[in-house]
Structures are given as structure tokens and as C-alpha cells.
Structure 1
Amino acid sequence: MIGFHWYSRCMAMCLILLMSACAGVDTGEGQAMGGARNIVFSDPVDFIGVNFKTARPRQGEDFSVALLSSSADREALKQDLHLLGKMPSDIPLRVVGFTDSRECAGEECRELSLRRAKAITDWLIGMGIPSSRLAAPQGFGAERPIDDNGTEKGRARNRRAYVSYD
């Protein structure tokens, strides 16, 4: 199931890259009012992101040991890094993090989700993405779940961090 999900996400990303290359991004030759560059994607870019083990990463812990599925999540990070390399450098981006509703409460959830987002931000910068390209990471805690927090599978999907358009 995880393999199929990862494969389908990768195929979708490849399609997006191909469509962006063909119809894609305004090259900036046409200027918007006020001299600002008008950047338009013909299709949304879908970063894969990663999922974390419950209550991880801990303060000071290497985030790679906190990933839910080390090999799949590392591959997802590599795909996201590749996608970032293909995007125009002036598109504002940030990494956002989330928790499930059972692993923490209140401010503790915001702090944990921020640690997740910061870990991915630091990794991207360490892999050569300029820090000026990324806004400060943001943690949303248990807000904005993408799956049911009543099941372990749903909670695992909600413990995530990914690159987002700012």
C-alpha cells in the first residue's frame, strides 16, 4: 500500500513536471503592474513530504531516526529536493508541520509540529537549497488533519511535514 501510494505520487509529480515544462511557468518577460514578476503555474506542484513516528523528533534528535518509514520518506525528500531544483527560485516556499490529535496537546503540539517543519527546512538547506528561498518553518499542531485521528493509520498520515507555497 505504501509502495503503491509512493509510486502514484511520483507518477503524478512526473506528469506535473512534464506539463509545467510544456505549458508551464511564465518566464517573466511580461511584467505585471508595478514591475513585479508574474509567476503562474499551469498545474499545482504536489510535494510528497514525510511522516513521523509518534512524538518525534524529540528536542535535539536527528530527524532521520524520527521518520515513520525511513527508506520511503528519504526517497520522498529526494523527490521533493529534485522538484525544488526544477522550480523558479523566486517562488516563495516554506515547510509546514503537523501532528495527530493524540500525541500531544495545545502548545506542545505546535512546538512538535514546528520541530518537524524545522527539521525538514534544515535538511533542505543542508542539501543546497538557499535559506533565502524558504520562509520560516511553520507548525500547525493537530489543526488541518488529512485523515481520521480515530485510527492509527489516520494518525500516522497526520504526523507530517512538507514543502508548501507561501
Structure 2
Amino acid sequence: MKLRWTKNSMLTGLILGLMACASSQTAFSTDFSIDAVFFNDGVPAKGGTLDASLVGSNESLQVLKNDADAIKSLKPPHRVKIVGHTDSKECSGKACEALSLRRAELVFNWMVANGVPTSMLLPPEGHGSHEPVASNDIPKGRARNRYVEFQVVPSTPQL
């Protein structure tokens, strides 16, 4: 079966694509980017600090500064959820959830301390090792799974 593109179907597709792009511009500027930050194995411990926990602390703190600027540029009703993750070998069960939550809380607190209004942030979450982005079978993969991500979500009105 061959697909046949007519002038009208191509024009309709182009218009729909442009409309999708235009609607996304209501939430984001054209240079909008929020990057994840990565953590060293097994940290932070309770009471640990962010800069002692991050891989490449100076570079990661610069990433966070850029992320804070991007978050502050969001337009309502969008907010940001900060979600922590772990690899599957640095901890297990509830300990992974607690470690990933500590990571998310440190980043959340850093964002607030650096001018991001709490009204733009949802409560931090820890997802443990349940959502790997790379293989936990190799060291490089485990390193990629020790991170905090930012999820931009539209707020829904409370009824």
C-alpha cells in the first residue's frame, strides 16, 4: 500500500505541526532546557550536603544555576517536579527510596535558596531504582541512574 500525499494533506500536516509548536511556546521560551544532575555512589547520607554529593560539583552547580533560571522563566500554570533516582546496587528497597528522596530534597532546597519560588515547584519525590535510564549491569550505566531529574507539569486547578 502506498501513501499518497496531496498538497492539502501536506499543508494540513504543516499547519497542525505549527499549531503544536505555537501552543508549546506558551509554557517555554525557545532556549528552554532543564538538565539532570548526577550523584556519587551512595550519597548523600542523612545531613549530607549537595556540593559534596554531586558528580563534578562545580560543573553540576553551574547546571543547577542554569536550571533555576529556566524554571523561573516558566509561565503558569506549569510547575516543576524534582525527582530523585538511584541505581540498583547502591541500596535496596526502602533505603533506595529514602536515598533518592534525600537527593531530590537537596536539589529542591538548593533551588528555593537560589531564588526559585516554592509556588513553581511541586514537592520533591524519590523513585528509588525503579526507573533506570541505563543498564545497572555496568558501572557507567549505574552512574547514569544516580540522578535527579526535573519534570515540567501543568498545574491543575484545585476544586
Same fold (TM over 0.5): yes
Tell me if the contact between 2:71 and 2:80 (Cα under 8 Å) persists in the aligned partners: no
After superposition, the C-alpha distances for 1:90-142 in whole angstroms (9 at most, x for unaligned) are: 31211000000000000000000000001000000000111121111001000
Match of 1:136 among 110, 116, 123: 123
Q: TM-score, normalised by structure 1?
A: 0.72
Match of 2:56 among 69, 80, 83: 69
Q: Please report how far the alpha carbon of residue 41 of structure 1 lies from its aligned counterpart in structure 2 after TM superposition.
A: 5.4
Q: Please report how far the alpha carbon of residue 46 of structure 1 lies from its aligned counterpart in structure 2 after TM superposition.
A: 4.3
Q: Residue 161 of structure 1 aligns to a residue in which SS? A: strand
Structural mapping, 1:150-161, within 5 Å: 150-161=137-148
Q: Please report how far the alpha carbon of residue 163 of structure 1 lies from its aligned counterpart in structure 2 after TM superposition.
A: 1.6
Q: Decide which structure has the larger Cα Rg and report it.
A: 2
Instruction: Report the Cα distance in structure 2 between the residues aligned to 1:74 and 1:152, rounded to whole angstroms.
Output: 23
Gaps of 5+ in 2: 1-20, 154-159
Cross-structure match for 2:72: 85
Determine what percentage of the aligned residue pairs are the same residue.
34
Cross-structure match for 2:103: 116
Gaps of 5+ in 1: 1-21, 27-39
Q: Please report how far the alpha carbon of residue 75 of structure 1 lies from its aligned counterpart in structure 2 after TM superposition.
A: 1.7
Q: TM-score, normalised by structure 2?
A: 0.75
Cross-structure match for 1:165: 152
Q: Residue 92 of structure 1 aligns to a residue in which SS? A: strand
Cross-structure match for 1:10: none
**Length, aligned pairs only:** 132
After superposition, the C-alpha distances for 1:53-79 in whole angstroms (9 at most, x for unaligned) are: 111011001111011111221121111
RMSD of aligned residue pairs (Cα, Å): 2.2
Q: Residue 162 of structure 1 aligns to a residue in which SS? A: strand
- The letter for the 1-side match of 2:127 is F
Point out the structure with the larger helix share: 1
Cross-structure match for 1:25: 25
